[in-house]
Structure 1
């Protein structure tokens, strides 16, 4: 057997392949929120299942948002930053907290800024429209922010159904399958009825996948999947998450805040905390399952009962921290606990570049102000480029004049992915073409496309391959020539330079990153109508990349476009001066004729925020109008 084919992953939808060359181990150079250093990620074996290729094909050809949801979200720009420092590090002597959640860009905005004041309640921050609580923000006593833990709270179970499909086997007995009828109204056609079959482990997603596969109009149709049930904490009947947020809004101290978090179910979050009394803290609440066996990385036998969820990680044993001696806590979707932690939290985290950069910018600092925090939120230094670019340059042997000029620009570049940087544009294009050049022949177009947007995996794999000069991966098996890693890297550079030349022209001195890299805010529902897109959707040129604190990941399917953004930013000052600030990415109105539809967008791009006014005199001084609702 060829050594390359034996290393080709069977299934891109697997959570992680830490021992596989294309999925190297988690890095060892960063801090955890709760610990000072962290060793390597534990290892798990790869696998091959007959249904895996069918699953990958079905999900890869479906609606992107549904596909990414079912596969756990593969765009690494979907993350967040938060950090908190106590008063020993601030100019005011009181804690400060910052947060910027990263979600898909859209119009109207995901977030809505609110200030709710009544009786003992006085709270300000960001809410999700329609939700009765402030998700991120502060009240008169405490402040908080959140990032995603990336906890593994989803499992797949292979089921044994009877011939009629009405009963499922469990521990030798037959249990009835619950059928939930759903009627889908179709414009211009008859309504469609869908019977959702549900076992004790959850809905049979194989029914939907098989139905979609059967409707494929082009390409080979995958073989039908065996019955596959989806277990997820968010599908449980009891969910106290909203109650948790309501209690959080009223909390006045760490004890009340953590008591509120006990009701939190999903999605598990890294909450950072600060209060006016000078305390800071961190907690990662949520229902994270304890499995009878296995780690959830493989579909389990639903019929045997050997891999059932036996309970949740006890709240007191979830990662947490209170008033640490370092006086600072940082989370940015990196791994929240070391291997010595006694419970399985998850298997996959992005490369911790954002967390590392925030730590670097805070290290050794005192007298911090909200303006200092704002500069951190705006930072575009790419640790990704600092890691990978030296290896790329060592392997590149440019032969054409444009390629040599590109190399010269990159050798002078400081790895800061600013909007006006030609180096950032060239590096971004080079990286865009690197994964297809290295593994496109091995993985094939379907899996290679999905792999390309796993920026951490691609980076770890590229560093490992190029550092070891592993020519087996660098060779293109589709050609008679035996390519080297120098050939592959040089070829990717040439494609990237040609790509940018076609977009920006031949004068590299005029190239800018933001000339090709734009943050796209599509209108939900009407962006697909070409005539309405200019009226309803928005886009702005932008800097940054997937690894920068001011995160700006590109979309693999639309090169150079940024589809996920820091949709809300907050910087909270717990001193009496309350020099706090916040901003939504686009605007507060959902009506495109309103001047407030997109009036935040310019400030968002410049990473400038608006004041968090809580005093009545300040509110009245800045009021644009009043709307009074009477019963």
Structure 2
């Protein structure tokens, strides 16, 4: 499919709404939204011919000669498949989503306006180098090339009677920021402030489990955590007086690399999967771009060029997990009014910058937002007029951020040395960066900027007026945790702790449990001659460590009735594998849910309802840590957190009975029908689902999945919505550095965001079945170049 382009004037694409909020979307409307992917066009901005080939899954392969044309092609192809998703992320970043979604989006838009991402984008764009600006500009030209020439727009525009605005180079920065601004520790610090205010510093500290002793570390591979953890109580006590009165104002991955000394081919294997909320279409976009300078393939964020997190070129491959690093701080500011707003800092009063912004709301009155900024950052919680409010300081928005200059350097790197050097300027998010090259080296780096400051900042919002909690630079790049070709022959990261406490800098107090990392590590340790197929088996690893722990306790439980006894027998015959078609995983999950619910409500008291129903990364992450700690307490028969008079045996018996009742009500009396897949299915909302009932018709198919949040085959659910999958693998990949064409990958739905496309959900059946799709990288394999 040849695309040779000439500029045309932009067409008017606005249309009248096709339907009301309650009518169905017609098939004709869906069909009319499909773009023409066989058309031949020309644009005078191109340096030469650009060809976009689409493989059997609709994945685009862009072949160009120059760097400019490669990114033009990437922008064009992405807009063909994902234009409305790109528009959503741009509006989300700028606090403009209510213009399409109405009042349901106002609260979100208010927060995003307060983050002031547009302002930081303007600053970043002025600071990045010319090569990076040219990359963004070429990508934007490609997006606009599609908008200007297409006769078919995504169906959402037709339904809403809207049309897309032109894409700008700055928008590429904005969508990347929007996808990461809520991945830091801001919400965790607000949640801790709430627990201190409600429960007191001592009780809040007791309920803050830290990384477990003996938990798996990343560096060096196989090392276990032996440190003493941080002084939680001290941090809570010192900050408690300042958070009083402020408390009521209100994602995970796996990856691993195996050295050639442990593979059949003698060359490295890299694999992994990012975990994010499931959405329609998926957050990541599979594509391939090639020119004389590079030949890269991987997963990109629609709206942003390159392959920031997952990809490879002809010589190196890279992948990430979230490092759980702490790079967001909250400062309680002390304000005074008068003719203008001022805030206190080190005994003097500084002028606070304020301005008003207006949010346009579809179908409702506009909303005015007052935005206030101090030298710490924008005010995101509270009102300055009350005298106290919280400012948000974040590496990605605090001063010029040139981190995305790394995107082009990644694509042009030829060795792990060059890859490591390319990450020197990376800012956000902080990642566990795992990479390898075709010469046989594998490496790990904690990439990103981590500020150096007082430990008080780690726990709670800190007073901004004292000057005692300012940032004092960043951890030097040369001293970031890293390793090259470890002796054991492989590297594993799964949001677990990077290093022991002898590391001289503070990175974080909050990590995922070791469960996923431990299962992956143990599986790889058993593979002296690993293959791509073996990596697929690791992806499919679904043995639950918590399940194995609780199963050891079940023989001592006295069931309340025969139905509970039957459920107990099913569990006692089980091997702990969270298989989609088995009943035991459903019984165990319902048992654990009710056990956790009883204990957590006792522990959290007045905060329980909020904690168990909240979204985001604050209370939910804390709840997951508490659940993991309960597993360890159950194993040692530690009853110190149990309600008065309760024992593990009594609570286990009660939870088992509640599980049987729950599954009977939900599925029926036949226990053989209680398969995990019947209750463990993906929630896959469209971005407009909260606003319009018809948006449900644009969602991808529900997928029953095995695994859960504690297994490498990840499919987690929130406590407030058992057992609908809230977060899961949003891509799986295996890179074979001995033969790129022997690599594998898959995403939850498909390449296209158009519901009428054959490639809207053609990968779903294999995603649920733990299978992978072939990975066509070489132009011979794609079919462009004939074999000799």
TM-score of the aligned structures, taking structure 2 as reference length: 0.69
Q: Paired residue for 1:436, among 588, 594, 597?
A: 597
Q: Paired residue for 1:422, among 563, 583, 608?
A: 583
Displacement of 1:225: 8.7
**Contact in 2 for aligned 1:378/1:550 (Cα 8 Å):** yes
Q: CA-to-partner distance for each residue in 1:113-165, whole Å, 9 max, x for gaps?
A: 11101112100011001111112111001001100000011111111111347
**Contact in 1 for aligned 2:700/2:761 (Cα 8 Å):** no
SS at match of 1:538: coil
Q: Paired residue for 1:251, among 391, 398, 413?
A: 413
Q: Does residue 128 of the first structure (1) align with residue 301 of the second (2)? A: yes
Q: Distance in 1 between matches of 2:504 and 2:550?
A: 34
Report what 1:26 is aligned to: 212
Displacement of 1:510: 2.4
SS at match of 1:430: helix
Report what 1:38 is aligned to: 225
Displacement of 1:9: 4.8
Q: Distance in 1 between matches of 2:621 and 2:556?
A: 23
Q: Does residue 178 of the first structure (1) align with residue 356 of the second (2)? A: no
SS at match of 1:514: helix
Q: Distance in 2 between matches of 1:99 and 1:205?
A: 35
Q: Distance in 2 between matches of 1:538 and 1:473?
A: 41
Q: State which drifts further: 48-57 or 290-299.
A: 48-57
Query: Where does the alignment leave 5 or more consecutive residues of structure 1 unmatched?
Result: 1-7, 60-77, 212-223, 477-481, 624-631
Q: Distance in 2 between matches of 1:416 and 1:597?
A: 31
Counterparts of residues 156-555 of structure 1 (less than 5 Å): 156-164=330-338, 166-207=341-382, 226-292=388-454, 294-391=456-553, 393=554, 396-444=557-605, 445-449=608-612, 454=622, 456-467=624-635, 469=637, 473-475=641-643, 482-526=645-689, 529-555=692-718
Q: Would the alpha carbon gap of residues 171 and 325 (structure 1) be closer, same or farther in structure 2, given more than 3 Å must change?
A: same
SS at match of 1:416: coil
**Contact in 1 for aligned 2:741/2:778 (Cα 8 Å):** no
**Contact in 2 for aligned 1:25/1:41 (Cα 8 Å):** no
SS at match of 1:499: helix
Q: Would the alpha carbon gap of residues 148 and 205 (structure 1) be closer, same or farther in structure 2, given more than 3 Å must change?
A: same
Q: CA-to-partner distance for each residue in 1:75-105, whole Å, 9 max, x for gaps?
A: xxx2111111111111111111102111110
Displacement of 1:395: 5.9
SS at match of 1:284: strand
Displacement of 1:496: 1.7
Q: Does residue 556 of the first structure (1) align with residue 728 of the second (2)? A: no
Report what 2:55 is aligned to: none
Report what 2:269 is aligned to: 96
Q: Distance in 2 between matches of 1:495 and 1:390?
A: 20
Q: State which drifts further: 452-461 or 348-357.
A: 452-461
**Contact in 2 for aligned 1:517/1:543 (Cα 8 Å):** yes
Q: Distance in 2 between matches of 1:537 and 1:359?
A: 33
Report what 2:778 is aligned to: 615
Q: Distance in 1 between matches of 2:447 and 2:201?
A: 22
**Contact in 2 for aligned 1:519/1:562 (Cα 8 Å):** yes
Displacement of 1:187: 2.2
Q: Distance in 1 between matches of 2:402 and 2:206?
A: 39
Query: Where does the alignment leave 5 or more consecutive residues of structure 2 unmatched?
Result: 1-193
SS at match of 1:179: strand
Displacement of 1:235: 1.8
Q: Would the alpha carbon gap of residues 324 and 475 (structure 1) be closer, same or farther in structure 2, given more than 3 Å must change?
A: closer
**Alpha-carbon RMSD:** 2.8
Q: Would the alpha carbon gap of residues 389 and 241 (structure 1) be closer, same or farther in structure 2, given more than 3 Å must change?
A: farther
SS at match of 1:228: strand
Q: CA-to-partner distance for each residue in 1:292-330, whole Å, 9 max, x for gaps?
A: 453421221211111111100000110001111211111
**Contact in 2 for aligned 1:520/1:539 (Cα 8 Å):** yes
SS at match of 1:550: coil
SS at match of 1:227: strand
Comparing both structures, which one devotes a greater share of its residues to helix? 2
Displacement of 1:15: 13
Q: CA-to-partner distance for each residue in 1:531-564, whole Å, 9 max, x for gaps?
A: 4414434311111111111101112221100011
Report 1 or 2 for greater relative contact order, CA contacts < 8 Å, sequence distance ≥ 6.
1
Displacement of 1:39: 1.0
SS at match of 1:272: strand
Report what 1:139 is aligned to: 313
Displacement of 1:607: 2.4
SS at match of 1:296: helix
Displacement of 1:431: 1.3
Report what 1:627 is aligned to: none
Q: Distance in 1 between matches of 2:686 and 2:529?
A: 42
SS at match of 1:205: strand
Displacement of 1:432: 1.2
Q: Distance in 1 between matches of 2:519 and 2:595?
A: 24
Q: Would the alpha carbon gap of residues 13 and 185 (structure 1) be closer, same or farther in structure 2, given more than 3 Å must change?
A: farther
Q: Would the alpha carbon gap of residues 568 and 464 (structure 1) be closer, same or farther in structure 2, given more than 3 Å must change?
A: closer
Q: State which drifts further: 581-590 or 459-468.
A: 459-468
Q: CA-to-partner distance for each residue in 1:327-386, whole Å, 9 max, x for gaps?
A: 111111000111111100000111111111111111142221111101110111111211
Q: Paired residue for 1:10, among 196, 204, 221?
A: 196
Q: Paired residue for 1:575, among 724, 738, 744?
A: 738
Q: Distance in 1 between matches of 2:198 and 2:507?
A: 21
SS at match of 1:238: coil
**Contact in 2 for aligned 1:268/1:286 (Cα 8 Å):** yes
**Contact in 2 for aligned 1:14/1:297 (Cα 8 Å):** no
* Equivalent residue pairs, number: 579
Q: CA-to-partner distance for each residue in 1:47-101, whole Å, 9 max, x for gaps?
A: 3647868665554xxxxxxxxxxxxxxxxxx211111111111111111110211
